[in-house]
Amino acid sequence: MEIEILEVDDREGRFMLSGSTAAFSNGLRRGMMAEVPTMAIDDVNIYENGSVLFDEQIALRLGLIPLVTDLDSYVLNCDCEEGCTSCQVSMTLNVEGPAVVYSSDLVSSDPNIIPAEDKIPIVELKSGQKLYVEVVARLGLGKNHAKWQPVVACGYKNKPVITITECDGCGECVEVCPKGILSIDESTNKVTVSDEIECSLCKLCEKACYLDGIHAGSKEDVFIFRYESDGSLPADKIPLLAVKQLREKAEQFIEGLK
Amino acid sequence: MIPVRCFTCGKIISNVWEEYRERVKKEESAKVLDDLGIKRYCCRRMLITHVPLVDTFAPYQ
Amino acid sequence: MEINILEKSDKEIKVEVVGEDHTFMNALKAALLEDKRVNVATYDIEFPTISDPVLHVMTTSKPIPILKAAAKRLIKQCDKFSDKFGKSIEEKQ
């Protein structure tokens, strides 16, 4: 198993996993989407809502706001009954119109758990309208609700491989390629591939080539992952957290067989 | 109100709505969206097709 | 993790793995199939929203050690991933 990080920053990641199986890759992908806990608003108490939106709509919009998650200080399955400081955070939102209520208006009881995005508009209040709500944020899993998903647009593909067997430099394939990764090498008058990884395997080049000399295939044991974080967790941590969950499951399975 | 996230992929798109709305008055929307980092067409349609209705409903509260 | 053994003999086992889904079951199934002693390894989630997956394995020797060995292989894969991923991230930064 080899891993090459293609690009990674706070919000986006792309890496190549070679020498692995589809089953493991898919476990990793599903783990990233559904098994990594994140913080999201779960309970909303509405004391006053004079806005144009219904209470339920306000609650949904609040729930979808990504919160910066601190997995060291909070636990997913807490033993307490009523909720305690190690499993939930309460926040208040109190705005009087005329104003636009933003996610940054949420006042959190824990300064580490704050909205990952400041400028999410929740509702626009006209003069005389008021919004006063109290919310409770908890850890949760993506398999229970998409608001607890740390990643968006998470997926993988096999590594594309373009092979050129015969070429007379007609340039037909260069013209049809929607990704623009093919070009004609001036010196040899043959087609060359610049960025193989970008190929989407649309096979338009195969159709365009009258010599049948170009073939777009893929490597079965090399996977290119691409994902974006919604801001709740840093993008370089998410695959590690997902694989940790998968490992724990395997451990529990062995434990359960005893 | 603009939806908080893209319906399809779940990316937060509402945080750029106000800037988009202002800039699109003078610039071409495709360019603005590229600038704001809205890459996928699922996210782009969220902003392009949104019609704000708060001002329409407000008098009937 | 709760595991219910539904059927068991010297060369066959059917276990219900409570609360799991394709994330773990498919990876485990693939790990089982790497083992030469395993003839058949498959799982079924009878009704997707309410059933728990049932793993069905047919082997040439006692099935439970084989299941444990497969899970251990999966753990090893996970460790390898964490190790390599951590190192690659460090290199990148």
Predicted confidence pLDDT, tens digits, chain A (258 residues):
899 999 998 899 999 999 999 999 999 999 999 999 999 999 999 999 999 999 999 999 999 999 999 998 898 888 888 888 888 999 999 999 899 999 999 999 999 999 999 999 999 999 999 999 999 999 999 999 999 999 999 999 999 999 999 888 888 999 999 999 999 988 888 899 988 999 999 999 999 999 899 999 999 999 999 999 999 999 999 999 999 999 999 999 999 988
Domains within chain A, CATH numbers bracketed: 2-35+152-226 (3.30.1360.10), 39-146 (2.170.120.12)
- From the list C2, C27, C89, which residue is nearest A256 (CB)? C2
Note the pLDDT of residue A139.
93
**Structural domain includes residue B33:** yes
Q: Decide: A151 and B47 in contact? Cβ < 8 Å.
A: no
**Structural domain includes residue B5:** no
**Structural domain includes residue B1:** no
**Structure tokens given for A112:** 């580490």
A111 Cβ contact partners less than 8 Å away, ≥ 6 residues apart: none
The amino acid that residue A255 corresponds to is: E
Parent domain of B20: 14-60
**A70: three-class secondary structure by DSSP:** coil
Are B and A neighbours with ≥3 CB pairs closer than 8 A? yes
Note the pLDDT of residue A171.
87
**Structural domain includes residue B27:** yes
Note the pLDDT of residue C60.
94
Average of pLDDT values for B17-33?
A: 94
Number of domains in chain B: 1
Q: Decide: C59 and C12 in contact? Cβ < 8 Å.
A: yes
Q: Which residues of A touch B53 (CB under 8 A)?
A: 52
The CA distance from A131 to A106, in Å, is 12
Note the pLDDT of residue B60.
86
Note the pLDDT of residue B59.
87
Q: Decide: A154 and A224 in contact? Cβ < 8 Å.
A: no
CB atoms inside a 10 Å sphere around CB A2: 12
Note the pLDDT of residue C49.
87
Residue keyed to tokens 């400041």: A118
CB atoms inside a 10 Å sphere around CB A236: 21
Give the best residue of C78, C90, C91, C92 to mutate against chain A (max A CB count within 10 A). C78
Note the pLDDT of residue B26.
94
Q: Which residues of B touch A53 (CB under 8 A)?
A: 1
**Structural domain includes residue B2:** no
Q: Is the pLDDT of residue C93 over 80?
A: no
Q: Decide: A135 and A106 in contact? Cβ < 8 Å.
A: yes
Cα–Cα nearest to A240, from C76, B9, C89: C89
**Structural domain includes residue B8:** no
A24 and chain C: CB distance < 8 Å anywhere?
yes
**Structural domain includes residue B31:** yes
Please give the angle made by the CA atoms of A203, A205 and A209, to the nearest 5 degrees. 125
Q: Decide: A240 and A15 in contact? Cβ < 8 Å.
A: no
Burial A222-233 (b: 16+ CB within 10 A, else e): bbbbbbbbbbbb
Across all residues in chain C, what is the average pLDDT?
93
Give the start-end residues of each E strand in A10-64: 12-18, 38-49
Give the best residue of C57, C66, C89, C90 to mutate against chain A (max A CB count within 10 A). C89
Cα–Cα nearest to A238, from C80, B52, C89, C35: C89
The CA distance from B60 to C12, in Å, is 69
Q: Which residues of A touch B40 (CB under 8 A)?
A: 153
Note the pLDDT of residue A206.
92
A1 and chain C: CB distance < 8 Å anywhere?
yes
> For the segment B30-42, what is each residue's pLDDT rounded down to a tens digit?
999 999 999 999 9
Residue of A nearest to C25 (CA): A27
Cα–Cα nearest to A215, from A204, A227, A228: A204
A27 and chain C: CB distance < 8 Å anywhere?
yes
Domains within chain C, CATH numbers bracketed: 3-92 (3.30.1360.10)
Torsions phi, psi for A245 (to 5 deg): -65, -40
C46 and chain A: CB distance < 8 Å anywhere?
no
Note the pLDDT of residue C92.
82
Name chain B's partners: 3 or more CB pairs within 8 A. A
Q: Is the pLDDT of residue B61 over 80?
A: no
**Structural domain includes residue B23:** yes
Q: Residue A58: which H helix or E strand, with range?
A: helix A55-63
> Regarding beta strands C54-59 and C12-17, do their DSSP bridges make them parallel or antiparallel, or are they unpaired?
antiparallel
